[in-house]
A and B are shown apart, each in its own frame.
Chain A
Amino acid sequence: MKNNLLKVAFAFAIAAMMFTSCAKAPEVEVTDAKAAIEAAKATEADRYVPADFKSMQDSLNVAMLEIENQNAKFALFRNYKKATATLTGVTAMAETVKTNAATRKEEVKNEAQQALAEVTALVNEVKELLTKAPKGKEGKEALEAIKGDVVLVESFLAEVSTLINNGDYLTAVDKVKAASEKATSLKTELEEAIAKTSKRR
Chain B
Amino acid sequence: MTRRRIKAMKRIFFFLMALIFFSISTFATLQFFSAKPPIGTLEQTHLQIGVAVDAEAEKYATELVQTARTLLEQAYTELKLQNERLFFLRDYQKTIRLASEASAKANEAIENTSEKRNSLHSSLKKALRETDNKINHFQTYYAHLPLNGNARKNFTSAKLKYVESKKAYERGAYLFVDKNLTEANHLISKSVTAAHQHLSEYFSDLKKWKRWYEETVDWTIKNKSTAIIVDKFAHKCYIYKNGKRQKEFVAELGPNWIGTKLYRGDKATPEGKYHVTKKKSGSQTKYYKALLINYPNDDDKSRYKSNIKNRNIPNRGIGNLIEIHGGGGKGINWTDGCVALSNEDMDKVFALAGSGTPITIVGSLLSLQEINGH
Contact = CB atoms under 8 A, between A and B. Distances in A.
Interface of A: 1, 4-5, 8, 54, 57-58, 61-62, 64-65, 68-69, 71-72, 74, 137-142, 145, 148-149, 152-153, 156, 170-171, 173-175, 177-179, 181-182, 193, 196
B110 to A, nearest CB: 15
Q: B interface, by DSSP: helix, strand, loop or mixed?
A: helix
Contacts of A177: 163-164, 167
B334 A137 contact: yes
Contacts of B82: 72
Contact of B164 (A141, A174, A196): A174
B39 A141 contact: no
B43 interface: yes
Which of A54, A57, A178, A196 is packed against the most chain B CB atoms within 10 Å? Answer: A178
B348 to A, nearest CB: 21
B9 A4 contact: yes
Chain B interface size range: 35 or more
Interface in B156-186: 156-157, 159-164, 167-168, 171, 173, 176
Contacts of A64: 76
A54 B161 contact: no
B160 A178 contact: yes
Contacts of B334: 137-139
A179 B43 contact: no
A65 B6 CA distance: 52
Given A65-B42, A174-B164, A8 B13 contact: yes
Given A74-B31, A137-B334, A139-B334, A152 B157 contact: yes
B50 A142 contact: no
Interface of B: 1, 6, 9-10, 13, 16, 27, 31, 36-37, 39, 42-43, 46, 50, 53-54, 76, 79-80, 82-83, 87, 90, 146, 149, 152-153, 156-157, 159-164, 167-168, 171, 173, 176, 255, 267, 330-336
B171 to A, nearest CB: 7
A141 B9 contact: no
Contacts of A61: 43, 46
Given A8-B16, A71-B80, A152 B9 contact: no
B46 A1 contact: no
A1 B6 contact: yes
Contact of A153 (B46, B146, B160, B161): B160
Given A54-B54, A153-B160, A182-B156, A171 B176 contact: yes
A1 B156 contact: no
Contacts of A65: 39, 42-43, 46
Contacts of A171: 168, 173, 176
Which of B10, B82, B83 is packed against the most chain A CB atoms within 10 Å? Answer: B83
A68 B39 contact: yes
Which of A5, A68, A145, A149 is packed against the most chain B CB atoms within 10 Å? Answer: A68
Contact of A68 (B80, B163, B255): B80
Contacts of A5: 9
B332 A1 contact: no
7 contacts: A8-B13, A65-B46, A68-B39, A68-B42, A137-B335, A138-B330, A170-B171
Contacts of B168: 171, 174
Given A72-B37, A182-B160, A139 B332 contact: yes
Q: Return the 7 tightest CB-CB contacts between A and B, nearest first.
A: A178-B163, A178-B164, A138-B334, A174-B167, A72-B37, A71-B83, A141-B255
A172 B54 CA distance: 23
Given A1-B6, A71-B80, A141 B332 contact: yes
B212 to A, nearest CB: 27
Contacts of B330: 138, 196
A142 B16 contact: no
A182 B135 CA distance: 14
A181 B167 CA distance: 11
Given A68-B76, A178-B161, A196-B330, A137 B167 contact: no
Contacts of B16: 8
A149 B167 contact: no
B160 A141 contact: no
A68 B37 contact: yes
Nearest to A153: B160
A133 to B, nearest CB: 11
A164 to B, nearest CB: 15
A129 B1 CA distance: 120
Nearest to A77: B31
A177 B171 CA distance: 13
Nearest to B332: A142
